[in-house]
Chain A
Amino acid sequence: MKAAADRILDLRGMIIPVTFLKVTRALREMKAGETIEIVGNDPETRRDLFKILQTFSYELLTMNNKQIPYRIRLIKGRPNDAIVKSSRTRETHDPRPR
């Protein structure tokens, strides 16, 4: 995985539904294979983001959602790809014992 995402979408200080509109716009503009890092602090956006993205093809790369601001990194898939939840997916900075 690349160290830096192709795009960083800073949604701090924004709430739904504006956050969802910004994420869906960014995903529409991206090409397949490009990555995006979403940075935000609205808990409702974090809770419902993946429900909103159900019409997009993407792979979840990393999700650090245990702290604020949370960071979610996705890679866009091809239009006809199924949504993939990668085995690489992990929650970083998770303080719970494994």
Chain B
Amino acid sequence: MPSSSRPARERPTILVPVDFSLCSGTALGKARSWAAEHGGKIVVLHVIDHDFVAQCIREHLGSENEIKKTLFLNAKIRLRDFLRGEDMDGDGVETAVCEGIPCIEINKKALACDADMIVMGSRGHADEMKTIFFGSTTERVLRFIRRPVLCVPPKENHGHK
């Protein structure tokens, strides 16, 4: 699990990027189990996609600042509810919301929090066709990251959602 090239820490850090999809909920559950077993700390990250912000600006849904303000507030509320739904709203879980290109922001956060491992769902909310042709966010993270990544597939009964 944690990289063999780095010394084992007393309390390893697991970064879990989430997009509120069922699959990212499953990944969060795996991270929780692993953290409970190894006494690890979990950092849950949600990235507001820069492309989505740009699209909202093009659709005249407000100024860039107004749009970001609403999206950040929405993300924080959803993240809190998402963690509550997974019984993870207690101590030992750190949360972060940022805006940017998801794969880059995930890599940045992994370095910033010195993550020992990243746990991600293999399939998020991204458009199915876009994922087929350009790959998922998880695949893009894997191209650049120098930390171990645990990629969690959706549960069988999740279907294509």
Question: Is A52 a contact of B62 with CB atoms below 8 Å?
Answer: no
In this complex, how many residues of chain B approach chain A with their Cβ under 8 Å: the count is 14
Task: Indicate whether B73 reaches chain A with its CB closer than 8 angstroms.
Answer: yes
* B70 cross-chain contacts in A, Cβ below 8 A: 17, 20-21, 24, 52
Question: Is B62 a contact of A20 with CB atoms below 8 Å?
Answer: no
* B54 cross-chain contacts in A, Cβ below 8 A: none
Question: Is A17 a contact of B74 with CB atoms below 8 Å?
Answer: yes
* A28 cross-chain contacts in B, Cβ below 8 A: 62, 66
Complex Cα–Cα for A55 and B77 (A): 14
In this complex, how many residues of chain A approach chain B with their Cβ under 8 Å: the count is 14
Question: Is A24 a contact of B62 with CB atoms below 8 Å?
Answer: yes
* B81 cross-chain contacts in A, Cβ below 8 A: 48
What 1/0 flags go to B64-77 for Cβ under 8 Å of A? 00110111011101
Task: Indicate whether B56 reaches chain A with its CB closer than 8 angstroms.
Answer: yes
Task: Indicate whether A96 reaches chain B with its CB closer than 8 angstroms.
Answer: no
Question: Is A24 a contact of B66 with CB atoms below 8 Å?
Answer: yes
Interface residues of A in 6-41 (CB under 8 A from B): 16-18, 20-22, 24-25, 28
Query: Interface residues, chain B, CB within 8 Å of chain A?
Result: 56, 61-62, 66-67, 69-71, 73-75, 77-78, 81
Query: Interface residues, chain A, CB within 8 Å of chain B?
Result: 16-18, 20-22, 24-25, 28, 48, 51-52, 54-55
